[in-house]
Structure formats: C-alpha cells, structure tokens
Structure 1
Amino acid sequence: MRKGSLKRMAVSLCAAVFLAAAGCGSAAPQSSAAAGTEAVSEASSEKAETKAQETKDTAEDKENGNESRINEDGTITIVDQLGKTIELDGVPDRVATTIMPFPYIFYAVVGNNDNLIGCNPSSILAYNDSALKYMYPELAKADTSFVDTSFVVNVEELIKLKPDVVFQWNYMDDEIKKMEDAGIKVIALQYGSAEDLETWIKIISTMMGKPERAEELITYFHKSVGEVDQVLAGVGKEDYSNVLLLSDKLKVTGKGFSNYWLEHSKAVSPSSDLTGEALNVNMEQIYQWNPDIIYIGNFTSIQPSDLLENKIEGEDWSAVSAVKSGNVYKIPIGGYRWDPPGVETPLMVKWLAKIQHPEEMKAMDMKDEVKKFYKTVYHFDLTDEMLEEILGDTQN
C-alpha cells in the first residue's frame, strides 16, 4: 500500500485528457522473436471493441434457447460470438486456431490431446517459454504455417491440414469469409472481457463434448478471484497503488482487460481510461504519473533490470518512484502469458494483490497458490523448478 497515489492521480487525469486529445495510440511493434506479437494490437483491439458493439444484440438474442449444445443425435450446435450458428457432425478430431491464448485454454478443457493440429506461431513461441510445454507435449506438433502473427490465414496451407473447424477472431471479417468460401467451418471468438472468456470456455467445452467442464472452470475462476475480493474488501481507494502497465518501450496499456485485474487487486492506473493496448508516451509523461509500481508486460523483451539499472538508452527511469523503491515487476508466463484473458487470470489477480497489498495478503503464499491452481485446474503437479520458471524471484 502506498500513500499519496491519489494526489498524483489528479495530475494523471489532466495528462490522460491531453493524451486522449492528442490521439497518441499506435500498434506495438514486435520487440523480439522471443516476445512474439501482441495478443491483440492496438488497432486490433479497436476493431475488436467495434465488433463487440455490432454483435452484442445479436449474441443476446441467440443466447436464450438457441445457445451452443450437444444434440440427441450426437451432432453439436455452436453459436459463436458473431451470433452465427455452426453445425458439427460430432466432437471434432482436427481443430485449428489463429488465436494466440487459445491452446492453453483448450488444454484446460481437454487435457493433453492431439486434436489441436494447427495454431498461431506466436502461441508456440509462448509455449516454449511456458509451463504448458511440460503439460501439453502434443502441442509441439501443431502446424503454424497456415497463419501469421497478425491472424492472416493462408487458405491453401490450411486446407492441407484438413481441419474440422477453425477458430478466428470475430473482427477478422475478410479472413473468416475466405475460409468459409473454401468450405471450412469457422467459429468466431470475441476478445476483451471476463465474460468473453467464459463464452470461449463454454464453446470449447461443448464442442469437445464436455459441457460440465465449463461449469467447473468458471466456478473455480470466480471462487479464486472472490478470495481476493474478500480479503481486500476493507481497502479504501486512498490505499490503492498508482501503477504503470508498460507494454513495450515507452508504450503503456490503456483501457482493456487490464481494468479487470486492477479492479479486483485494488489498484489504479493513470492510463486505464485511454483506449488502446499500446499507447505512445514519453518520459515527461512518466514523470508526471510517477507510478508507485511498474508492471512490464510479457509480450515485450524489456525486463525489470532494464529500468532498475537504467539500461535503456535515451530513457532515465532513476527518478521514478517505482524504480527508486525497486517495485518493478515482469508479468509472469504460466500456461500462457498472464496479460490477456485466460484461465490463469485468477493467479494474475492474486499476484498483483500480493504486491500491492502485502499486509492484507500476508497469509497467502503465491507459490502455494500456483501449485494448488495447477493441481486443481490442470491435474498437474508443478516441480519447484517449474514454479521458479513461472514466478522467478518476483515474490516470496
């Protein structure tokens, strides 16, 4: 807990208005091969938000009485997040996806399997750095030649994989059309909220003949986040930390899914009302915001030591409060990066809460929480070495 955050937030609000008026957003560049591409770039995020509004009424109309289901004859009816109905002959043997976090969510539903025959190349980059490689060895065989990191599909390569169904973002209209024109069944998913994540889990679970699995995962998700809500219920806004979400070199995260974990972990971000996943800022703006804590996204190669040791040429971080106090952290990667919506979001909320409110959260050991989560959700026992790969030395 850090005092004085709200005073700085008054300055931050003025700065936020200035940035919004200036239209400072731009898509984040790929920082390195290991980092891959943003889960949803700023431009993609804006498209996703627009598509979400366009399809909201249709989806709500479809939800009552005509939702995804397993039929008596064994066929499966999926209503996707475009409100479109996709009919499957049964549980698909061959599934492909362009969506980066999809493989680990799919694994949470199905377990180790050979059904996922194609995925985004960025998913494999993350996979090689994640705990998923220990749990889901079959994913290493997945083909990545049919799609690039911006979700554009090579239909000729995709046809060679003979997929029963393909998952694509709902705002990629042209990509969906060209796949459907080639006779490929496409399920569209929508990016952005915890509710969207629940819908992904329900669709995947129903499609794979495990509708009860969705209820298990979603119930545990809310139970886990609710544990943090209960512990932090008495924390007033005056004790919220002022946090900076650094998505890349002088780029910060604006309005998006991060608001969910900030809300539940009781923190504020001066950029949280600005639209975009990667907003351009300068050091003068950082000095005005003067965050108590800095979280560095897992999609960038930037490390805490780059800020703490002032290694980035042309940027002086030494005067920033978070750097002075050593409160600079790298967002972890578990089954997948913890930045976007995913089944491990409850761990992200707990990790943040432990950093931001150490007194209130002192009874919670983060390593124990991760171990328990993996055992409950994945039925997998993490070794101490695996746990170290996930959390490193960010917390005791």
Structure 2
Amino acid sequence: MKQYALLILCAILGILFIGIPACAEEGETRLITDMTGNEIEIPATIERVAFFGGPIGQVPYILGVQDTIVATSIGSKNSQLLNIMDQNLKNVPSPRQTNGIINIEELIKSDPQFVLAGDVDGAIVKKQTTIPVVYFFESSDGTAEQTKAEVAFVGLIYGKEDRAQKYANYLDSTLSLIKSRIGDISLSEQKVLFNGYDANHLITYGGDSYMQERIENAGLKNAAQEVSTSGVRPGIHSGLDEISMEQVLKWDPDILVIDTGSPEDIYNDPKWASIKAVQERQIYRLPNGVFVWNRPTAESAVLHPLWMAKIGYPERFADISMKDEVKKFYQEIFSYELTDEQVDKILAGEFASAISAGKGQTNQTNMGNK
C-alpha cells in the first residue's frame, strides 16, 4: 500500500514539474534541446554542474541552485561578494580561466554531470573529454531579452521556471518604470554618456555592442555610438574598443562613467578639463556587485539602466533610492539580505573582482561566449 501511495505521489509531482521525471532513479536521463538547437541527454536529477562563463555564473544564485556548482570560471571564483554570499565557493575549483583556456584535468577531477558553456569553451570540453556539453547561444548579443532567455533556459533545466519568471518580471517592471519616467525626452534633449574604462579611461563600448541598448534604455545617448567593435581585438573584451583622447574631446560627453580610479583623479587632470562632464562634475565610478555592471549579466540588466537613468535625470528619479533598489533586488532575486555597508560598497564599485573592464584580463569573460 505504501508503495502504491509513493507511485501516486511521483505521478503528481511529474505533472507539476513537466519535463522533469519525478522520483527519478539514479542513472535516469532526459533529453533537452540546448540554446544552439542541439539535443543533449542530461541526468534527470541534477547534482553536479560546471558553469563556464563569468556573467552566467550568477544565474544559479538567482535560481537557488548554487549547491550544484562543482566547477566555475575564475571570474565567479574571484567575486568578492559571491564569496560572502556563498561560503562554499572557496572550495569550488575554477578550471575555466579565460575564454578558450580550460584546465581539463581540473575539470575532469570535479566530475560534473555536464558543462554549461558557450561555443568556444564547449568545443574544447567536447573535444577533450566525454563530459556532455549544454550550450548557451552560439553568439550572445547581451540584450535584455536574451538575458531573460538564458535565465529561463537554465530555469527549465533545473525545474525552476517560477524563479526564472520572477526574474523576467522584475526586469520588465524595472525597464517599464524607467521608460515611464524618460519616455518623453526627445533625442535632441538626451544627455550623452561616455563609458571610459581601464586606467586611461579610453576603452569603451561601441554602438554595435549590447551597451547601446542599455544606454538607450536609460534615456541617454552613447557617445561612442559610431564606434564599431566587430572582429577580434587581442587582449580586449568583445564589444569594446580603444579610442583616442581627441575623440572624447570631440564628443564632449555630459556624463563620464569610469571603472578604475576616482572621479577626483580626472577632475584634477588637465587633459580632461574642457569636457562638459568634468566642468559639471558628472563623473561616476561604475558599481560592482556579484559581477561588474558593464557586463551582460542578469544583475546589471536590471540595475545598470536604472542607475544610469538616475544619474542622467536625477530630478525624474528623485523618489528612487539606488540603495533601496539594490537591496530589494538582492533580497527578491538572489534571496540574500545585503547589509547597508555592502550596498554602499556595491554602488561605490568597491567589490571589484580580479577582472578589470578594459585590457589585459578583460577577455576572461568574453561577452559572446558566456
């Protein structure tokens, strides 16, 4: 009788969680289609997964499945805030160092059931091991819609569709709020923002990168819209390019966002003195949470446009506190209660990881290969 009751319970659970065999026995598998259209067989019960790619490393925390991470990327491993939120992260190996550079021996030793990866990393794993590979988009454009799709995809794999949908609703609601506040600003009235990354503040996202959409979502103009970042640039992150000081002077941006140093350094630098953002003291340090906000991550897709809109049009967002918004996001989406000190450090960019946003280590988190 007890066995019969158990079978009924399993059947009910199977109906509630369509696509995921309830009460699955060890060794059972199921067939899924990954984001590149490949059919792949994965275990019915997910317990051990390798997440390869910096931005995607935060998705398990959104879904509440971080306990299944057995291998990760150096970007996630080095995140100061993630290490505070997840005490076990220090024990998780990071065989994926940069895009296309993987310690295969370390990966095999971590014994994942499968690897979630982009095309470059996935191809290496597939060629050198027998570990199944579940691919994300072959070419990620980093838009808000694609970010939602990636969270939804991982949510489907884990049977966490409700949490994935909660995130999607949160993102849509935030973007709708911003649009309701800035939708009437004409193109001619929009302020111009320049992202000046790296030590020289001359690395920036071009108009053909995902950042174009994000800046537009904030009701601003991208100073570097005319810059094309297509093709491969050694030592520089996908979507970024290095421009000259002469170009910045020509663009004369209203707002300057930096990822290293302090605004005071630029205010005191004579070569920047003629720029409107300097004269009007509109230089801001880029926030950094579980990952830096100038990446196509689920966190930054929500908070970054709101932050930019507020610094661009403070009078239209006077009732909105970024401290409250950051705390709310982490509580509702990451299920983590930030302290006031932690919120302040996020907004001040003080949780910067070992990965910089410009040259050198930048390509550790290639935007197109998360």
TM-score (norm 2): 0.78
SS at match of 1:260: helix
SS at match of 1:235: coil
What corresponds to 2:91 in structure 1?
Answer: 141
TM-score (norm 1): 0.73
Identity in percent: 26
What corresponds to 1:278 in structure 2?
Answer: 240
Give the alignment partner of residue 206 of structure 1, picking from 156, 175, 180.
Answer: 156
Deviation at 1:148, TM superposition (A): 1.9
SS at match of 2:271: coil
Question: 1:186-213 CA distances to partner (integer Å, 9 max, x unpaired)?
Answer: 1112322222212221221122221222
Distance change (3 Å), C-alpha of 1:389 and 1:336: same
**Alignment: residue pair count:** 313
Give the alignment partner of residue 160 of structure 1, picking from 109, 134, 153.
Answer: 109
Q: Indicate yes or no: 2:42 matched with 1:95.
A: no
What corresponds to 1:50 in structure 2?
Answer: none
In 2, the alpha carbon distance for the partners of 1:91 and 1:272 equals 46
What corresponds to 2:341 in structure 1?
Answer: 385
Deviation at 1:284, TM superposition (A): 1.1
Give the alignment partner of residue 304 of structure 2, picking from 337, 343, 348.
Answer: 348
Distance change (3 Å), C-alpha of 1:338 and 1:228: same
Question: 1:199-236 CA distances to partner (integer Å, 9 max, x unpaired)?
Answer: 22122112222122211111111112211111222222
Distance change (3 Å), C-alpha of 1:251 and 1:360: same
Letter matched to residue 217 of structure 2: H
Unaligned runs of 5+ in 2: 1-17, 230-238, 351-370
Deviation at 1:72, TM superposition (A): 4.3
What corresponds to 1:85 in structure 2?
Answer: 39
What corresponds to 1:115 in structure 2?
Answer: 68
What corresponds to 1:251 in structure 2?
Answer: 203
What corresponds to 1:27 in structure 2?
Answer: none
Q: Where do residues 1-396 of structure 1 align in structure 2 (5 Å cutoff)?
A: 70-72=19-21, 74=24, 75-110=29-64, 113-125=66-78, 127-128=79-80, 130=81, 132-144=82-94, 146-172=95-121, 174-179=123-128, 182-190=129-137, 191-192=140-141, 193-248=143-198, 249=200, 250-254=202-206, 255-276=208-229, 277-297=239-259, 301-310=260-269, 316-344=271-299, 345-392=301-348
Deviation at 1:341, TM superposition (A): 1.9
Distance change (3 Å), C-alpha of 1:294 and 1:207: same
Letter matched to residue 320 of structure 1: I
* Aligned-pair Cα RMSD in Å: 2.3
SS at match of 1:347: helix
**Equivalent pair of 1:295/1:329 in contact (CA under 8 Å):** yes
Deviation at 1:260, TM superposition (A): 2.0
Letter matched to residue 105 of structure 1: V
SS at match of 1:244: strand
**Equivalent pair of 2:195/2:258 in contact (CA under 8 Å):** yes
SS at match of 1:137: coil
Deviation at 1:264, TM superposition (A): 1.2
Deviation at 1:154, TM superposition (A): 2.6
In 2, the alpha carbon distance for the partners of 1:278 and 1:104 equals 22
In 1, the alpha carbon distance for the partners of 2:89 and 2:303 equals 23
Deviation at 1:156, TM superposition (A): 2.3
Unaligned runs of 5+ in 1: 1-68
After TM superposition, which residue ranges in structure 1, 4 or more long, deviate above 6 angstroms?
Answer: none
**Equivalent pair of 1:109/1:214 in contact (CA under 8 Å):** yes
